[in-house]
């Protein structure tokens, strides 16, 4: 059985290119995740708070949003549409949470990545997202 190809094994032209918003109040996690994503050829915008994320979404559309802010900073009215509605995109972004981010009955992430971050888990998640988008 052949091994599943990883994004790192693909040529630059074969790799998907995503515009990604990273929402995280930790400088270290934001730096590590952003570097990992940029090395894979993605465009990354960083936000340290929910307000910064909403402002960024007003200026541009995102394919994927990585959410890793601590629960006290997540607004109680969080829904997946709160940032998507501010976005200029016609499509809804794909939400990925890092570590333990609380969800509620109105909102569930599409994917969850454990902390500490792993290049393998990140690549597998991005490949799944790409495959899902390609099938539509």
- Residue 1 in any domain: the answer is no
Contact indicator for 113, 121 with CB cutoff of 8 Å: yes
Query: pTM for this one?
Result: 0.75
Helices within the chain (DSSP H only): 27-39, 50-59, 80-84, 119-134
- Residue 3 in any domain: the answer is no
- Residue 55 in any domain: the answer is yes
- Residue 93 in any domain: the answer is yes
CATH number of domain containing 115: 3.40.50.2300
* Residues 59, 108: Cα–Cα separation, whole Å: 25
- Residue 40 in any domain: the answer is yes
Does residue 91 surpass a pLDDT of 80?
Answer: no
- Residue 81 in any domain: the answer is yes
User: Structurally, how many domains does the chain consist of?
Assistant: 1
**pLDDT score recorded for residue 6:** 53
Block residue for tokens 């994927």: 64
**pLDDT score recorded for residue 34:** 95
- Residue 22 in any domain: the answer is yes
- Residue 8 in any domain: the answer is no
Confidence at 107, pLDDT banded by 50, 70, 90: low
Cβ neighbours, 10 Å, residue 78: 18
Q: Note down the domain range covering 76.
A: 13-134
Q: Mean pLDDT, to the nearest integer, of 27-48?
A: 92
């Amino acid at each position: 059985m052949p091994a599943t190809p990883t994004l790192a094994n693909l040529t630059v032209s074969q790799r998907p290119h995503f515009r990604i918003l990273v929402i995280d109040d930790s400088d270290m996690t934001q730096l590590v995740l952003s570097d990992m994503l940029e090395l894979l050829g993605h465009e990354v915008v960083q936000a340290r708070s929910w307000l910064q994320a909403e402002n960024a979404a007003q200026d541009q559309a995102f394919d994927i949003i990585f959410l890793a802010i601590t629960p006290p900073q997540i607004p109680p009215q969080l829904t997946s549409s709160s940032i998507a509605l501010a976005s200029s995109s016609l499509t809804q972004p794909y939400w990925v949470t890092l570590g333990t981010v609380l969800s509620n009955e109105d909102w569930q992430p599409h994917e969850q990545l454990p902390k500490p971050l792993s290049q393998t888990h990140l690549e597998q998640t991005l490949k799944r997202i790409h495959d899902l988008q390609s099938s539509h």
